[in-house]
Amino acid sequence: MVTTIQVDEKTLLLLKRLKAEYAVASYEEAIKRLVMQRANKSQIGGSLAKYYKRKKLKDVLNELQKERREGDRF
């Protein structure tokens, strides 16, 4: 199914840049590639969430603060 969307000139320029940067034939392909890149980056963060899922956020923050205070910083 083909759908038409309305975008302003600035968005169109950004889409044109993405299309050229990714060397793809259509705006659709450029948008898909951008979305896939963003999805892959968010999955990295998801793996950290799995690592810390059993700990409370407050405990994780306290551990990080403790490491920071004890670190080898000048």
What is the distance between the alpha carbons of residues 53 and 51, in angstroms, rounded to a whole number?
6
Q: Is residue 1 part of a domain?
A: no
Higher pLDDT, 37 or 47: 37
Q: Is residue 66 part of a domain?
A: yes
What is the distance between the alpha carbons of residues 64 and 22, in angstroms, rounded to a whole number?
39
The per-residue pLDDT for 60 is 74
Q: Which residue has the tokens 């700990």?
A: 55
Q: Is residue 2 part of a domain?
A: no
Q: Is residue 58 part of a domain?
A: yes
Q: Is residue 3 part of a domain?
A: no
* Total number of domains in the chain: 1
Domain that holds residue 20: 9-70
pLDDT digits (tens, 9 = 90+) for 8-46: 999 999 999 999 999 999 999 999 988 888 876 655 555
